Amino acid sequence: MKMKFQFHILVCLIGAGFLSGCSKNPVTGKKEIIFMSKEKEIALGAESHPSIVATMGIYDDKNLQSFINEKGKAMANISHRPDLPYQFFIVDSPVVNAFAVPGGYVYFTRGIMAHFNNEAEFAGVLGHEIGHITARHSARQQTSQIFGQVGLMAGMVLSETVRGLADQTQQALGLLLLSYSREHESESDKIGVEYSSKIGYDAHQMADFFGTLKKISEKSGQTIPTFQSTHPDPGGRQSKVEKLATEYQKEHPAKYNVNRDAYLRKIEGIIYGTDPKQGFVENNMFYHPELKFQLPVPSGWQYENSPAQFQMAAKDGKSMMLFMLAPGKSLEEASAAVIKNYGLQVTENEKTTINGNPALVMIATQAAQTQSGQQAAPTANSIQVATWLIQYGGNIYAIHGVSQAANFAGSMGQFKSVAGGFKSVTDGSILNRQPDRIRIKTVQRDGSLKDALRDFNQQDKQMDDLAIINGMSLSDKVTKGTLIKTLSK
């Protein structure tokens, strides 16, 4: 069965023009077999972009966008593949991350933009990401994993927006989920040093930024940012990039820029951390100030918020819940659309009210498809879904509780508790919550970074974060007139 499935994929790839044969890598100069043509790379980037925007949103800062466009185009022109239609975006996420999609699409989160402390750090990461594109790492990685199952997780209930894009973007999104090999990451670090240096920046600053990433990783106790996730230690990576920068500058003597103050002024006012207007979790409750509702989050559950949906899951992975806008102008229309979009076989369906809001509850099984396209009979591994459609504030919201059939009965009580906790928010402290923003201040006296931060009334509980976003230690000395980052509403 497995061999038959692999052969079917291979036939499809040939038919779709994936097998472009043996070609020379534009960066290494080596001949290699690549299953993806240049045209397909560009098409995948174009197909992926709407899903990325739907999931993360675009951060609206015209001046900062103009800056990354300018530097991105300058770097694209000196790259190994200047003919690609490069595009550069800042996405509205607090996560410290940058990533690239085949065909020339490069993304920086507002989180990583807030953590850069000069233009040279930005340029180094920009070069790293463009390096993934020019060295065709996604294509090479896909070639090595072409017989794997690449795509969206089976059984996941998707928002209408993302599901509507799923068919044409499934493979493109799958490429985003492929972690690059250590060899590819090291190659991109080297390319990043070369590209950033060629447009006039000091690549030693790229090395320094790995020190910032190491501190973020150590403080959070979580995995390090995606674009460096396959490497063992940012500290070791820092020393390697430092050496590469020294070697490059020795071979190419020139004046290399850092442009610290110019960059800091560009990020004045950028949102740091969670933006409350997009929703936030506090005391086991998800609040959405703009839409004026709240929803309980089970204790110990992990969660993730995006413009498209709010999702949360038990740590044991046996159940998850998703919250999103539902299609349709009535509960009946929404119900019909959900059943159709998600391939549900409904076993229970009743109208009710939730905290005074008209609602409809459905219990269903997500029908699996056989190879012949027929719906398979439900099993203990089938996905069961409890859906609450709630009419509130001119919208219809969907709350989906999802688990395998074997665990569904045990999860149902938790699902009911969450759905039954949906209600309006009237608390002004929630509705008017403002985000933290980076504020650039001029140090008033010689002393330590901690002294300078206290002069600007920064809270003690923020000190560790402030040290990290300034790329310093609290004990580091700063002189009068130095620009530093602070936080305020």
Domain with residue 292: its CATH number is 3.40.1000.10
Give the pLDDT confidence score for residue 341 in this predicted structure.
Answer: 87
Beta bridge partners of 321: 312, 401
* Whether the Cβ atoms of residue 303 and residue 286 lie closer than 8 Å to each other: yes
Give the pLDDT confidence score for residue 380 in this predicted structure.
Answer: 56
Q: Are residues 316 and 456 in the same domain?
A: no
Please report how the helices 160-177 and 331-342 are oriented relative to each other, as an axis angle in degrees rounded to 10: 30
Give the pLDDT confidence score for residue 368 in this predicted structure.
Answer: 62
Alpha carbon 51 to chain centroid, angstroms: 11
Final residue in a domain of this structure, among 266, 293, 325: 266
Q: Are residues 96 and 211 in the same domain?
A: yes
Q: Are residues 285 and 426 in the same domain?
A: yes
Buried b (16+ CB within 10 A) or exposed e, 440-472: bbebeeeeebbbbbeebebeeeeeebbbbbbbb
Q: Are residues 114 and 134 in the same domain?
A: yes
Give the pLDDT confidence score for residue 224 in this predicted structure.
Answer: 37
Give the pLDDT confidence score for residue 158 in this predicted structure.
Answer: 31
Q: Which of 21, 23, 41 is nearest to 102 (CA)?
A: 41
**Position 205 in a domain:** yes
Q: Are residues 122 and 232 in the same domain?
A: yes
Q: Are residues 105 and 203 in the same domain?
A: yes
Q: Where are the alpha helices (DSSP H) in 36-159?
A: 38-56, 62-78, 110-115, 119-134, 137-144
Q: Name the token pair of 36.
A: 């993806």
The position carrying tokens 């029908």 is 367
The position carrying tokens 């509850």 is 361
Which residue range forms the structural domain that includes residue 328? 276-431
Q: Are residues 462 and 337 in the same domain?
A: no
* Whether the Cβ atoms of residue 469 and residue 424 lie closer than 8 Å to each other: no
| Domains of the chain: total | 3
How open is the CA angle 209-212-217, to the nearest 5 degrees?
130
The whole-angstrom separation of Cα 217 and Cα 470 is 16
Give the pLDDT confidence score for residue 5 in this predicted structure.
Answer: 27
Q: Which of 193, 182, 265, 272 is nearest to 228 (CA)?
A: 182
**Position 271 in a domain:** no
Q: Are residues 405 and 446 in the same domain?
A: no
Q: Are residues 427 and 479 in the same domain?
A: no
Residue 171 has a CB neighbour count (10 Å cut-off) of 18
Residue-wise DSSP of 123-156: HHHHHHHHHHHHTTHHHHHHHHTTTS--SSPTTP
**Position 168 in a domain:** yes
Give the pLDDT confidence score for residue 370 in this predicted structure.
Answer: 47
Q: Which of 291, 35, 55 is nearest to 140 (CA)?
A: 35
Final residue in a domain of this structure, among 387, 409, 431: 431
Q: Are residues 196 and 249 in the same domain?
A: yes
- What pLDDT digit, counting tens, does each position of 60-99 carry? 999 999 999 999 999 999 999 999 999 999 999 998 999 9
**Position 257 in a domain:** yes
Final residue in a domain of this structure, among 241, 266, 291: 266
The whole-angstrom separation of Cα 77 and Cα 331 is 53
Q: What pTM did the predictor assign?
A: 0.77
Give the pLDDT confidence score for residue 220 in this predicted structure.
Answer: 67
Mark the ranges of the chain whose per-residue pLDDT is less than 50. Answer: 1-22, 33, 140, 142-179, 222-232, 370-373
